[in-house]
Structures are given as C-alpha cells and as structure tokens.
Amino acid sequence: MVFSFFLIFTGAAVLATVALYTRQPLLIAYILLGVLIGPFGFSVVEDTQLLTDISEIGIIFLLFLLGLDMQLSNLMTTLKKSLLVGIVSCLAFAVTGFGVTRLLGFSVGEAIIIGLCLMFSSTIIGIKLLPTTVLHHRHSGELMVGILLIQDFIAILVLLAIESFGQETVNTWTLIKPLIMLPILILGTLAAVKYIILPLLTRFDRFHEYIFLLAIGWCLGVGEFAHVIGLSYEIGAFIAGVSLASSPISQYIALNLKPLRDFFLILFFFTLGAQLNLQVLSTVILPMAILTVLVLVGKPIVFHSLLLRLSETNHLAWDIGYRLGQISEFSLLVTFLAQSNGLLSEKAAVLVQSTAIATFAISSYIIVFNFQNPIAVSDRLRRD
C-alpha cells in the first residue's frame, strides 16, 4: 500500500506539473497515470481493488461538503425546480442509449444497461469544476446540484434493480425500500443533529481537532447507516452535510475537509484510468466513439432545451448543459454490479468504462477552456 501510494502521488505530482506547464486539466494527468502504471499498462500497480474502495471515500466527502452549503429550505425549492429536468433527461438518454447500442449489435439486456449508464452525469466533474461562489450563492449552482441529486437517487434505484434481477427471484421490497427509508433517514439525522451533534459542537468548539474528528465521524456514520437501510453512502453523506448546514461552524468544517476530499479524489481518477482494459478497448473503439459523441453533443442540447422550458436564460441553460455533458461515476458502479451478476459481458463493460473516461476527459477540456472553474488555465476564467 505504501509503495502504491508513493507511485500514485509522486507520479501524479510529476504529471500534474507537466499538465500545468502544457495548460491541461489536472484530472487528465491523474487518469493518464492510472492507464500508464495500472494492471493493463506497465503493471507497476497490479491490484487496484483496495484503492478503488478507498477512493470512494472521496466521493462521500464531496457530497458531504456539498450538503454543508445547502440549507434545507433551499434544497427543497431546488429539488422541485430540478425534478422535471432530472427525470426527463434520464428517460431521454436511457431510450437513446438503448436504441444506439442495439444498432451497434449488443444484446437487448446489455443495451438496456448501457442505456441506463448514459442517463447520469458526473457529480465529481460537475461539482469540482464549479466555482465555489457559483455553487454556494447562485441559482445556477443550486439548479445543477438539484439535477445531480435527482440523478443520484435514480441511480440508487437502478443499482437496487440490477442487484435484484441478478438474483433468482425479484424482490419488490428491495425496490420500494429506498422510497420509505429516505424520509426516515432525513428525520432521524435532523433529530440527531439537534439533540446530540450541535450541543457537542457548542460545548467543545474550542477544540478544533475534536470538531474535525466529529465531522468525519458524522459524515461516515450517516453514510454507513444509509447504506445499511438500502440507500447509498453518497446520499447519506449529503444528508449529513445538509443537517449541519444551519450550524455557524459548517463553513469551518467545509474548509478543513477539502484537502482530505482532494486526496481521495486523486485516487478515484487514478483507479478510473487503471481499470481500463486496453486489450479489450481495441474491440470497442467505434462504439465508444459513437457513444462519446452522443453524450458530449446530446447532453448539452437536451439540458439546454429542458432548462429553457423552465424559463431559464439561454446562457445559464448552455452553461449547465455543458457542465453535465458526460456520464457518471455511478455508471461505473452500475457496470461493475451488472457484470458481477452476469448481466453484462466484459466487452460491454469496457465500452462503458472507456466512454466514461473519454467523456470525463473531453468534458473537462470543454469546461476548463470555456467556462468559469477553479482550475482554468486562463486567469479570465479561473474562479475558486
């Protein structure tokens, strides 16, 4: 593990330096490093499963920090506005993805799963490349967060459905359970914050180390509880953050957890590149190129059209559309679970993985060079 961390972070530092000198997005450096030294490259790091599990913590912290900046009243208003856009866009890409994949010669079952994978946009790309001022205080940031949250909840239902269909009998309760447990989780979390967490923070607010420890414990604790009751770690972490958003200490917590989040996200992008099977990739180059163009071109157009119908401005509609113009890390989870249950061949799985990497990379280029973001290569667009 120590040797793997040495290779990953030293290598990332070297490639990130090259990326900055050549004015490239840093995310590309992390993915490229994974491709180069991963099991399908030079095989310097051969077992990435443990790193994959660790890197998921970065996504959990990302959602927790996001929740810390969302007041509960603002969240409910945002979700109401985003509900139609989130559902209609998911349906549009599920149907389109299924049709295109069938034309490319994949089976009905594989086409359905690949279509489902195309529904979602990346929370990591969307939030990481959104300036903090936009994310916290502007309508566009709230709207995009709402769309991503709706997609995340749909992704949970998809994951549960695939897990259920992989068994001998389909369990209806498994699909209904998240709809019942979500309100219970929210109410339980708010009560725990009011009667336990906030009194502890008030009593020991002078001990910064304790605040840091309590925040991490709260985030991972609610995430684990959410997982146990049939939701996801990410949804639990987000709700944990929202429950603390009204606390005056929320911004202090957010500021101190950002370096920890970035540490794990570097691992996430490394493992994304390391898991790409280069040998199988050569057999899906054409389908991958077609799906990549479909996502990169189609998603901005679909989101732009839907947002205009909600009376949003033309500029805002294009801005959000391009920021959501990729597939999601949830798509990789769907692929892994479907392949584990025998519902997806390795060729189809590599197709989704390669499309995810391609859309992550190209979408990052589009955002970094054309829209305001924290890692822009030009001073005009760089906003932290």
Residue pLDDT, tens place only, 69-116: 767 766 677 777 788 898 999 999 999 999 999 999 999 999 999 999
**% the chain with pLDDT above 70:** 92
Paired with 373 in beta bridges are 382
pLDDT at site 13: 94
- pLDDT for the residue numbered 178: 73
Type and span of the H or E element at 56: helix 49-68
Residue closest to 151 by CA, chosen among 182, 118, 183, 113: 118
For residues 160 and 178, give the distance between their C-alpha atoms in angstroms, rounded to a whole number: 9
Q: Indicate if the pLDDT at residue 59 is higher than 80.
A: no
C-alpha closest to that of 300 among 180, 153, 144, 150: 144
User: What is residue 334's predicted lDDT score, i.e. its pLDDT?
Assistant: 84
The answer, yes or no, to whether residue 230 has pLDDT greater than 90, is no
The per-residue pLDDT of the chain, averaged, comes to 84
- In this prediction, residue 302 carries a pLDDT of 94
Strands in the chain per DSSP E: none
In a domain, 383, yes or no: no
Rounded alpha-carbon distances, angstroms, from residue 234 to 129, 148, 156: 19, 12, 10
Question: Residue 21 half-sphere exposure, CB side, CA atoms within 13 Å?
Answer: 6
pLDDT value of position 168: 53
Answer whether residue 380 is part of any domain.
Answer: no
- pLDDT over 80 at 212, yes or no: yes
d(CA 236, CA 252): 21
Is 285:272 a contact under the CB 8 Å cutoff?
A: no
The residue to which tokens 């414990």 are assigned: 217
Q: Is there a domain that residue 182 lies in? A: yes
Report, as an integer, the average pLDDT of 30-52. Answer: 84
Q: How many domains does the chain have?
A: 1
CATH classification of the domain holding 206 = 1.20.1530.20
Report yes or no on 384 lying in a domain.
no
Interval 331-370: pLDDT, tens: 887 887 788 778 888 899 889 988 988 898 899 888 888 8
CB atoms within 10 A of CB 21: 8
62 pLDDT band (50/70/90 cuts)? confident
Query: Is 56 part of a structural domain of the chain?
Result: yes
Residue 375 lies in a domain: no
In whole angstroms, what is the distance from residue 92 CA to residue 16 CA?
Answer: 37
Q: Cα separation of 128 and 61, whole Å? A: 12
Say if 103 falls within a structural domain: yes
Query: Got the DSSP string for 176-218?
Result: HHHHHHHHHHHHHHHHHIIIIIHHHHHHTTT-HHHHHHHHHHH
Domain range spanning residue 220?
2-370
**What is the number of alpha carbons within 13 Å of residue 257 lying toward its C-beta?**
30
The answer on pLDDT for 136 being more than 70 is no
pLDDT above 90 covers a percentage of the chain that reads 28
Give the per-residue pLDDT at 164: 66
Q: What is the pLDDT of residues 145-201, one digit of tens each?
A: 888 888 877 887 787 777 666 555 556 666 677 778 888 998 999 999 999 999 998
Is 381 domain-assigned? Answer: no
pLDDT at site 67:
79
Confidence tier at 214 by pLDDT (50, 70, 90): very high
